[in-house]
Amino acid sequence: MDRPVIRLKPKADPRPVRWGRPWVYASDLVLDRRTKSLAPGSLARLEDGERRALATVAFNPGSKIAVRVLDPDPEVEIGREWFAARLERALALRERIYEAPFYRLVHAEADGLPGVVIDRFGEICVVQPNAAWAEALLGSLAEALVDVTGCRTVLKNAGGRARGLEGLDDVSGVLVGAAPEGPARVPMNGAVYLADLTGGQKTGLFYDQRENHAFVARLCRGASVLDVFSHVGGFSLAALAGGARQALAVDGSAAALELAQGGARAMGRELAIRRGDAFEVMEALAGEGAVFDVVICDPPAFAPSKQALNAGLRAYEKVARRAAPLVAEGGILCLCSCSGSADLEAFRAASVRGIGRAGRQGALIYTGFAGPDHPVHPQLSETGYLKALVFRL
């Protein structure tokens, strides 16, 4: 197969690639005028410094992650059948775990599709092609997705931050079928969620917290619950399904809160909402003397990169400091982080500092991560981004 050759520098160690690492940084490659002129997403043959073939890869000269390893076979054809094989393997795992077709179907590198995220909502699949190679082959991917899952609609979501780093646009659209006329109804942990698949955040719903929702819901029977950074009601709706007496959802998005209330009504329950800046609302609630049996804070990624780590950890500490006074004596505080750059130890330390500076003490009773439909690639710590800490104060 006549593909361009990308070569490791003579001193670059090829063993990580042979052992499964799916990324090679530009600093480890021989980049000459020829390679730099290749189109982003070009398929290429990766060789070590001694010209021995390593893999079929996707190359993007404009990205820090210049090489994404697609297949250890340097001669493999990357097309509809190749995508189908990857998707069949991913689907087989999810069908062993979940009874209903609502889950993350593809979690990027850990499912053998670097930079690709696919969330499934029954007969609708939402694809995030966050790497240039996936954007270039999106037609074949969508065709294989229909073949394997039988879905009727495939949507493209182009809102991922990673697309900008790959030099890609932010234009979403419909790849197969027709756009849904309203929010998708998603059953999860006994709750009902409404997901805006065309205009919502990311793919419309966060499946990664499913296991943590379930654990916290067990602590909410008969409880009053505060869900801060609630989005479409992730923890608050799970709490109501688990028997919470009442729940208050706080978020800056009116549209997300409307969907959260719609989900509660679909369950035959009522959900109180409060729109505003999360820190300001928590401060106001404290001034009002409000206390709750269970408080959950699930903020966006405050540390999306290593450069933002210190500021992000200060923000997580501030969340804990503002939230802890709102927890009743003997109550529960759940703190979450979806920042891949903040590892578990750093996030836990920031959370404990915040709790202490609020004048509270607590025992850590649960540490949670993303569910099994978000598998972790063992050579990419970034894929294990989600952390949830549950304290009894």
Q: Which of 281, 387, 285 is nearest to 328 (CA)?
A: 285
Q: Does residue 352 belong to any structural domain of this protein?
A: yes
Q: Please check whether residues 161 and 192 belong to one and the same domain.
A: no
Average pLDDT, the chain: 96
Which pLDDT belongs to residue 304?
86
Together in a domain, 252 and 361: yes
Please say whether the beta carbons of 13 and 21 come within 8 A: no
Q: Can you list the alpha helix ranges (DSSP code H) found in the chain?
A: 15-18, 33-36, 80-97, 132-136, 138-149, 161-165, 210-218, 234-241, 254-266, 278-287, 309-323, 344-357
Assigned token pair, 182: 């309203």
Beta-carbon contacts of 38 under 8 Å, excluding residues fewer than 6 positions away, are 4, 44, 59, 61
* DSSP string covering 309-368: HHHHHHHHHHHHHHHGGGEEEEEEEEEEE--TTS-HHHHHHHHHHHHHHTT---EEEEEE
Q: Is the predicted pLDDT of residue 327 greater than 70, yes or no?
A: yes
- Residue 169 phi, psi dihedral angles, 5° rounding: -80, 180
Q: Residue 30 belongs to a domain with what CATH number?
A: 2.30.130.10
Asked whether the CA dihedral 148, 153, 159, 164 is positive or negative, the reply is positive
Q: What does pTM read for this prediction?
A: 0.95
Cα three-residue angle 113-115-119, rounded to 5 degrees? 75
> What's the rounded mean pLDDT across residues 220-228?
98
Q: Where residue 383 falls among pLDDT bands split at 50, 70, 90?
A: confident
The whole-number pLDDT of residue 283 equals 98
CA distance 361 to 370: 26
Q: Using CA atoms, how far apart are residues 155 and 92, in angstroms rounded to an integer?
A: 22
- Per the structure, the count of domains in the chain is 3
Q: Considering only CA atoms, which of 57, 20, 24, 22 is closest in space to residue 40?
A: 57
pLDDT for the residue 204: 86
Cβ atoms of 316 and 345 within 8 Å: the answer is no
Q: How confident is the model at residue 314 (pLDDT cuts 50, 70, 90)?
A: very high
Q: Which of 121-125, 262-266, 300-304, 347-351 has the lowest mean pLDDT?
A: 300-304
Query: Is residue 120 located within the same domain as residue 217?
Result: no
Q: Are 252 and 312 in the same domain?
A: yes
Pair 131, 252 in one domain: no
> pLDDT tens across 126-142, in order?
999 999 999 999 999 99
**335, two tokens:** 């703190």
Residue 143 placed within a domain: yes
Q: State the Cα–Cα distance between residues 223 and 330, nearest whole angstrom.
A: 12
- At which of 176, 205, 229 does a domain end? 176
Q: What percent of the chain has pLDDT over 90?
A: 93
What integer pLDDT is reported at residue 221 of this predicted model?
A: 98
Share of the chain above pLDDT 70, in %: 100
- Do residues 379 and 321 lie in contact, with contact meaning Cβ atoms separated by under 8 Å? no
CATH number of the domain residue 105 falls in: 3.30.750.80
Question: Which tokens sit at 340?
Answer: 């891949």
Is there a single domain that holds both residue 249 and residue 273?
yes
Angle, alpha carbons 126-127-129 (nearest 5°): 160
Catalytic residue among 151, 334, 336, 338: 338
What average pLDDT score do residues 283-294 get?
98
Cα–Cα dist 209/20, whole Å: 27
Q: What is the pLDDT of residue 2?
A: 84
Task: Report pLDDT digits (tens) over 54-102.
Answer: 999 999 999 999 999 999 999 999 999 999 999 999 999 999 999 999 9
Q: Has residue 181 been placed in a domain?
A: no
First-to-last CA distance in the chain?
Answer: 62
Residues in the chain: 393
Final residue belonging to a domain, choices 125, 149, 176: 176
Q: 241 and 104: one domain?
A: no
The answer to whether 86 and 100 are in contact (CB under 8 A) is no
276 shares a domain with 208: yes
Work out the number of other CB atoms within 10 angstroms of the CB of residue 202: 15
* Residue 125 is among the residues annotated as catalytic for this protein: no
Out of 123, 157, 176, pick the residue that ends a domain: 176
More confident residue, 219 or 341: 219
In this structure, is residue 182 part of a structural domain? no
Q: Clarify whether residues 57 and 123 are in a common domain.
A: no
Cα distances from 54 to residues 9, 14, 61, 307, in angstroms, run: 13, 8, 19, 32
**Dihedral angle, C-alpha 270, 258, 157, 214, nearest 10 °:** -20
Q: Would 370 be classed as within a structural domain?
A: yes
| Mean pLDDT on 256-261 | 97
Task: Indicate whether 328 and 217 sit together in one domain.
Answer: yes
Range of the domain at 49: 5-71
CA-to-CA dists, residue 67 to 47, 56, 106, 110, 251, angstroms: 12, 10, 20, 16, 38
Structure-token pair, residue 309 = 């780590």
Q: Which DSSP string do the residues of 126-162 spell out, in sequence order?
A: EEEE-SHHHHHTHHHHHHHHHHHH--SEEEE----HH
Q: How many CA atoms lie within 13 A of 217 on its CB side?
A: 21
Tell me the pLDDT tens digit for each residue of 143-170.
999 999 999 999 999 987 788 888 899 9
Res 1: pLDDT: 61
The answer to whether residues 167 and 271 belong to one domain is: no
Residues 323 and 259 in one domain: yes
